[in-house]
A and B are shown apart, each in its own frame.
Chain A
Amino acid sequence: MTDTAIAASALGKQFGRRGGWALRDCTFRLPAGRVCAVVGPNGAGKSTLLALAAGLLGATEGELTVLGTTPAEARIRVGYVAQDKPLYPQLTVAETLQMGADLNPERWDAAAAEGIVAAGDLNPKSKVRSLSGGQRTRVALALALGKRPELLLLDEPMADLDPLARHELMGTLMVQAAQHGTTIAMSSHVVAELEDSCDHLLLIGGGRVRLAGEIDDLLAAHTRVSTTADADLAPHTVVESRTTGRQLSALVRPSGPLPDDWRTGSPSLEELVLAHLRNPEAPALTPAEAAV
């Protein structure tokens, strides 16, 4: 087991020969054992990134290493749940789990999979086609967790769940991560949904990595400042600045001590993410820069 779950360098994916780039120049490293939030607006390339890491898509350019090997080689140790939670509608819940056992003969953890389904009060005999969206999510998660993956890739896992089920399943995932050291990467466009459970952030916008790193480090690297409108923000890196009257408020990455007469505060994760998404020209902060 390596200490890096996913490492990407200059990763790019183009759909079709003349199609647009869903991802371009993505470089980041996700250490093993982390719970990583993959955040970005709709169409940012989150799903493409997760599918690439799951070995279900081939990259157009760049390097992607998953669990120390190629995504295709690592596939057996990776669990993946796609955004629309595809399942075979003609199978029952019990048959779906039996299929998981038969297709993952060396890894299957029946108790874990059945536990997740049982917690949702699902009848094992009901057909998958009769399930609600949330119930399907539960079965899809059971199938992925039953495989006992070392890396779990979840594309918008909580979108269909009611708050109670969301809380309960997130708890199950955290227990899994804590007990087995599973690395989890889950995408969402709702930052608040992931803030409490995740310790790592990957912010993707316009097919590029905007922020990557430990959430605490990222928050520590940024400061919210307010000062007078004529203040000079150089040499600090400005992510976003706004002038209201004689007041200037900005989000900066300080490159040294800030003047004492500036009022400073630490941003929330949501503020940090929104500031970067609102300002596509703001320089990215990825491991290369963060590892100073």
Chain B
Amino acid sequence: MTTTAMTAGDLSAPARPRLTRWLLRLHRPALCVWTALVLAAAALLLLLHGPLTDAAAEGWRQYNHCAFNASCTYDQKAILRYKDWYNYATLTVCALPFLVAAWAGGALIGRELESGTARLAWAQSSTPVRWLTVRLAVPAVAVTVGAGLLAWLHQLAWSAGQGRIDTAPQWYVLFTFHANGPTIVALTLAGLAAGALAGLLLRRTLPALGLALLLTGAVCVTTQALLPHLWPTLGRTGPGYFYSPSRSWQVSGGEIADQYHVTYHPYSHYWPLQLTTTALVLAMTALLTLACFLVLRRLTGKAAPR
């Protein structure tokens, strides 16, 4: 009946449907935008790391040299330029989870289910489970590479300013903390899974986009609430009001019976906090992914074991 196809199939191992190729073809514009965004942000971070930091550091050196000499001049523009561009870069990196969530909920899953093309894909020689697996795995690779690169460059740019620019943000400042390390990669992956779940639940582009953003926001808020407690804090007690040591992140402070008490994370807790937070976010991502497959099974009936 299918002679040509049969002989070709007998000679080699059975050919697998090439889902990845067509996912990349269908979402080529998104891949181009993602690449352009990562490259632009990377260029900005390299600029920050080099010339912008150097100019601002020179500005601060001049300023500190002036002491109380009123007629002294210093390069204030360079300092402000550094501050602005640093904020733009950090916010761009921290927006990645939301961008990816909106795309995943709207374009990757929601639109396919709304227009019925998901059924077209399922009616080929593959299964819905494979369809969703490819749709999550391929973007996950792109997201990990892109967000990982930006986090590493951000860490470089941030380190370059430490000790040289007096107003450079501390390691524990919300956006800086996440943009500096693997947590942003985990959060972006969580955004992808949240978007996919929103798309599968609502099956319409715009509502899915909205729910994707809400779910990602919920993941971020939960993470931020738990973050200080993911590693044991250090404490200090003494008479009178005092601060936690310099460069440390004060978590709580208060007076009990004439004794003032603070708890804090010293800078040495940076990596433990980064890694435990990343693990927490990845665990939430795994739950969201599991939920995606459960919803898909509810949509399509019991999956074939293929």
Contact = CB atoms under 8 A, between A and B. Distances in A.
Interface of A: 51, 54-59, 70-73, 75-76, 78-80, 82, 84, 86-88, 90-91, 95, 99-100, 102-109, 140, 143-144, 147-148, 180-181
B22 A56 contact: no
Interface of B: 1-2, 4-5, 9, 14-19, 21-22, 25-26, 115-117, 119-127, 297-304, 306
Contacts of B121: 103
A91 B117 CA distance: 12
A272 to B, nearest CB: 32
B127 A56 contact: no
Nearest to A72: B304
A147 B124 CA distance: 8
Contact of A82 (B4, B116, B127, B304): B116
Nearest to B16: A105
A54 B4 CA distance: 26
Residues of A contacting B: mostly:
loop
Contact of A102 (B22, B127, B297): B22
Contacts of A59: 301
Most buried by B among A55, A87, A181: A55
B22 to A, nearest CB: 5
B301 A147 contact: no
B123 A84 contact: no
Contacts of A55: 122, 300-301, 304
Contacts of B4: 109
Contact of A58 (B14, B117, B300): B300
A58 B302 contact: yes
Given A82-B116, A88-B26, A107 B301 contact: no
B22 A103 contact: yes
B268 to A, nearest CB: 52
Contacts of A88: 26, 117, 120
A100 B22 CA distance: 10
A102 B17 contact: yes
A56 B119 contact: yes
Contacts of A102: 17-18, 21-22
Given A105-B15, A106-B15, A79 B123 contact: yes
A54 to B, nearest CB: 6
A54 B116 CA distance: 14
Rank and list the top 5 A-B pairs by shortest CB-CB distance, nearest first. A58-B301, A86-B116, A105-B15, A103-B124, A72-B304
8 contacts: A72-B300, A88-B26, A95-B25, A99-B22, A102-B17, A103-B19, A105-B14, A105-B17
A106 B14 contact: yes
A54 B119 CA distance: 10
A59 B300 CA distance: 9
B116 to A, nearest CB: 3
A269 to B, nearest CB: 30
A58 B304 contact: no
Nearest to A104: B125
A144 B301 contact: no
